[in-house]
Amino acid sequence: LLMPQLWLERPIVEGIARSALTLAASESGARLLQEGIQTASLDMQGLLLEQLRSHVWKVAASAHGNHVVQQFIMAVPPPLVGFIVDEFRGRAVEAAKHKMRSRVLERLLEHCPSEQMAPVAEEIMHEVVLLAKHAFGNFVIQRLLEHGDNFQRQRIAHELGRCCGDLARHRQAHNVVLSALTYCKDEEKCFLAQALAAVRGGAALLAKASTAGGRA
């Protein structure tokens, strides 16, 4: 790792940036890049970030590289990660079901405004039930419920409500339903509560949500 002041030296950062893709593929290299992202100025961060352009999809699938992409998303202003969002467009559902890419998608939903994420969110909302049951996809739906807009929450709640009997007892999906009961507006909460009250296992889930403070 570099001494913090060295990340202010443009020639040094430029040299590291030229090897960014190779570095992102290894544990030590990814740690070096993450250190730079956390320490460098916005200008120097931009030098490192630019090397990922057109390579985000591949790097995000890497056991080490995904942490580099996540760090960028958390460290720089949302407009600068627009090209990262673009690389997830058209394959957001595939990303949501991937162990590493789903984590990057979660960070995008957390740190980018809903308007910027709207095309990606639209793809996700077309597969709410599928993703709610998925080992990785369920976390993506939960992040969208937490950080999306009210219209997106409404759509998700209505999709969940149609399959409450199945989802309430599902290992992953029941957590998505709990998130909906936490973050949705009262109207959607009531809709879900009514749907859950009519199915086996629904009452227990409602009690859990009430204990956690998720219901109005």
pLDDT digits (tens, 9 = 90+) for 134-145: 999 999 999 999
Helices vs strands, H then E, count in the chain = 17, 0
* Residue 168 pLDDT level (bands cut at 50, 70, 90): confident
Read off the DSSP letter of residue 40: S
Residue 211 pLDDT: 61
Read off the DSSP letter of residue 74: H
Q: State the helix-helix crossing angle for 42-50 and 65-75, rounded to 10 degrees.
A: 140
**Do 38 and 71 meet the contact criterion of CB atoms below 8 Å apart?**
yes
User: Looking at the predicted structure, is the pLDDT value of residue 207 above 80?
Assistant: no
- How far apart, in Å, are the Cα atoms of 193 and each of 141, 170, 186, 202? 19, 17, 10, 8
User: Looking at the predicted structure, is the pLDDT value of residue 30 above 70?
Assistant: yes
Average pLDDT over residues 92-116: 98
To which residue do tokens 């931009």 refer? Answer: 46
Which has the minimum average pLDDT: 27-31, 188-192, 205-209? 205-209
Nearest to 32 by CA among 76, 64, 77, 61: 64
pTM listed for this prediction: 0.90
**Do 59 and 21 meet the contact criterion of CB atoms below 8 Å apart?**
yes
Q: How far apart are CA 81 and CA 76, in angstroms?
A: 8
Q: How far apart are CA 195 and CA 106, in angstroms?
A: 28
Hey, is 163 helix, strand or coil?
coil
Three-class HEC string of 114-138: HHHHHHHHHHHHCCHHHHHCCCCHH
| Tokens (6 digits) for 42 | 């916005």
